[in-house]
Amino acid sequence: MEVTAARRSFLCDIGMWADRTALHEAASMGRVLQLSQLIDSGSSVNTVTVDNVTALHEACIKGHPNCVRLLLRAGAQVDVRTIHGSTPLCYACTSGSLDCARLLLEHGANVNPSLTTLTPSSLQEACMQGMRLIEGGASVNMVAVDSITPLHEACLRGQVQCVRLLLEAGAQVRTHKLTPLCDACTSGSLECVRLLLKHGAKTNPALTSRTASPLHEACMGGTAHTSTATAIRIAICIHHCI
Beta bridge partners of 48: 17
With both helix axes pointing from N to C terminus, report the angle between 22-29 and 65-73 in degrees, rounded to the nearest 10: 140
Look at the chain and report how many structural domains it folds into: 1
Note whether residue 178 is domain-resident.
no
What pLDDT sits at residue 225?
Answer: 47
Whole-angstrom Cα distance, residue 224 to residue 131?
A: 24
* CA nearest neighbour of 150 among 129, 177, 116, 127: 127
Give domain status of residue 213, yes or no: no
Helix then strand then coil, % of the chain, to nearest 5: 45, 0, 55
- Reported as a single tens digit per residue, the pLDDT across 192-210 is 888 998 898 877 765 554 5
In a domain, 196, yes or no: no
Structural domain includes residue 80: yes
Residue 5: its pLDDT value, please?
27
Decide if pLDDT at 38 tops 90: yes
- Give residue 126's pLDDT: 64
Confidence of residue 54 (pLDDT cuts 50, 70, 90): very high
- Residue 54 in any domain: the answer is yes
DSSP 8-class letter at 17:
B
Share of the chain above pLDDT 70, in %: 64
Query: What pLDDT does residue 26 have?
Result: 96
Q: Nearest-5° angle of CA 190, CA 193, CA 194?
A: 90
pLDDT of residue 3: 30
Say yes or no to pLDDT of 31 above 50: yes
> Which domain CATH number covers 33?
1.25.40.20
CA separation for the pair 196, 184 (Å, rounded): 9
Query: What confidence score (pLDDT) does residue 77 get?
Result: 95
Residue 159 has pLDDT above 70, yes or no: yes
* Residues paired with residue 17 on neighbouring β-strands, in sequence order: 48
Q: How far apart are CA 112 and CA 91, in angstroms?
A: 14
Determine the structural domain holding residue 58 and report its residue range.
7-84
- Would 101 be classed as within a structural domain? no
Residue 215 has pLDDT above 90, yes or no: no
The stretches of the chain forming alpha helices (DSSP H) are: 22-29, 32-40, 55-61, 65-73, 88-95, 98-106, 122-129, 150-156, 160-168, 180-187, 190-198, 214-219, 228-239
Q: Tell me, yes or no, whether 24 lies in a domain.
A: yes
- pLDDT at residue 79 in the model: 92
Given a cut of 80, whether residue 155 has pLDDT beyond it is yes
- Say yes or no to pLDDT of 21 above 70: yes
pLDDT in tens, 60-88: 999 999 999 999 999 999 999 998 888 89
In a domain, 130, yes or no: no
